[in-house]
Amino acid sequence: AALLLQVRLVMKAHSFIRENVPRVLSSVKDKSGIVHIPRISQYLYFLFAPTLIYRDNYPRNPTIRWGYVATKFAQVLGSLFYAYYIFVRLCIPQFRNSSQETFNLRGLVLCIFNSILPGVLILFLVFFAFLHCWLNAFAEMLRFADRMFYK
């Protein structure tokens, strides 16, 4: 999780630098007294907004729909509990007895094949919980309206 957070921050820093350095260099080259640098509040909003492309201003919704936020967080919790249930019921029993038995290639292959489907289900649940529910909940709390791009 820490590695993913660091990768996200590096990507955001790259976008921020890529968007702002040419502006600063052009204003220095023109020798105009005005250097357009972003405010700290713009940068902080960008750090928490669910986007990797820096802009000074993003489209914003007028209000926060707290019911929508609660629904998304409930879906995150539901997804995590369901993933835990799948893991406990379908994955752990496959490997529980393997530590007490002698190594058997056939048994290992059967354990792996029997846990492929539950593993894929858990993967889908984690992607749904994070990429759909978690990010949409934070986008709603930040009033980030760019999610409505196709409407």
pLDDT tens digits, the chain, 151 residues: what are they?
689 889 999 999 999 999 988 888 887 777 766 777 888 999 999 998 888 889 888 888 899 999 999 999 999 999 999 999 999 998 888 777 766 777 788 878 888 888 899 999 999 999 999 989 998 999 999 998 876 555 5
3-state secondary structure (DSSP) of residue 144: strand
The pTM of the full predicted model, rounded to 2 decimals, is: 0.74
Same domain, 6 and 37: yes
Same domain, 125 and 93: yes
Same domain, 73 and 91: yes
Same domain, 23 and 69: no
Residue 71 parent element (H or E): helix 66-86
Same domain, 83 and 138: yes
Same domain, 134 and 74: yes
Same domain, 92 and 113: yes
Of 73, 99, 88, 98, residue with least CA distance to 121: 88
Same domain, 27 and 75: no
Same domain, 63 and 23: no
Note the pLDDT of residue 32.
67
Note the pLDDT of residue 96.
77
Note the pLDDT of residue 149.
58
Phi, psi of 144 (to 5 degrees): -80, 105
> What contacts 144, CB < 8 A, 6 or more positions away?
49, 50, 51, 58, 59, 60, 61, 138
Same domain, 27 and 71: no
Same domain, 64 and 47: no
Containing structural domain, residue 40: 1-58
Helix and strand numbers, DSSP H then E, in the chain: 7, 0
- C-alpha 43: how far from its chain's center? 18
Same domain, 47 and 64: no
**Which of 42, 58, 74 lies at the terminal end of a domain, its last residue?**
58
Q: 């820096």: which residue's tokens? A: 54
Domain count, the chain: 2
